[in-house]
Amino acid sequence: MKFYGYWRSSAAYRVRIALNLKQLSFENLPVHLVKNGGEQHSDSYKALNPAELVPTLVDSDISLNQSLAIIEYLDEMYPQPALLPQEPAAKAKVRALAQDIACDIHPLNNLRVLQYLTGTLALSETQKQEWIIHWLHTGFAALDKRLSLTAGQFCFGNDITLADLCLVPQVYNAQRFSLDMQSYEHINNVVHHCNQVAAFALAAPEQQPDAQ
């Protein structure tokens, strides 16, 4: 199994947690998103992933992009520990929480969006930071209310699910961008419990061989 990612990519971080939880061996192949104009734009990587994004997982003759699709593939191929509930309504609720983060919060602060803001649109660093904080707070405020209804130790009760794999990397990003986290009680509680789990700690950006 080959995993193409970047140490500080939220999407790659999610998949690393899943691989660790399932205790799967994989070859880590870093794709530096900034060096040399971004290695994701190289011809060799574009041939693997035309979207020029990370992560990409190659398992035998199967190549997959999109972190949520990769994680669900891993969950079906290697079912223990399960990252989605079996009951349909519970499964849908966990997927909704994950998509609140991966589809609504994360893309607005992704690297290529921020590069477009300060490059093509010529926004200042201050304006860029205002953009980041606005969308992080908008997403986190709504998510914290949802978690008030679903969370135990983790996003959905007391079992680790796909939603937790999305939340921890997004909070890492928020802290990196200096979002004041004090008002998100339920988010903070869940992340505290997640970070006590070895699979999350080992997946942290600073623990990766390409961290710099």
Dihedral sign, Cα of residue 170, residue 172, residue 176, residue 182: positive
Report the predicted TM-score, pTM, of the whole model to 2 decimal places. Answer: 0.96
Phi, psi of 64 (to 5 degrees): -125, 140
Joined together, the tokens standing for residue 61 give: 């003759």
pLDDT for the residue 26 = 97
CATH for 88-199, among 3.90.1150.10, 1.10.240.10, 2.60.40.10, 1.20.1050.10? Answer: 1.20.1050.10
Residues 203/166, Cβ–Cβ less than 8 Å: no
Intrachain domains 2-81 and 88-199 with the same fold: no
Tell which residue, 165, 22, 166, has the closest CA to residue 82: 22
Q: pLDDT tens for residues 68-120?
A: 999 999 999 999 999 999 999 999 999 999 999 999 999 999 999 999 999 99
Residues 19/208, Cβ–Cβ less than 8 Å: no
Residue with tokens 């971080």: 13
Tell which residue, 179, 182, 192, 104, has the closest CA to residue 143: 104
* Mean pLDDT in residue range 186-200: 98
pLDDT for the residue 62 = 95
Judged against a pLDDT cut of 80, whether residue 212 lies above it is answered with: no
* Mean pLDDT in residue range 5-28: 97
Q: What single letter denotes the amino acid at residue 78?
A: Y
Q: What does the alpha-carbon distance between residue 12 and residue 9 come to, in Å, rounded to a whole number?
A: 5
Boundaries of every domain in the chain: 2-81, 88-199
Q: pLDDT tens for residues 126-183?
A: 999 999 999 999 999 999 999 999 999 999 999 999 999 999 999 999 999 999 999 9
Domain range 2-81, CATH class: alpha beta
* Mean pLDDT in residue range 21-49: 95
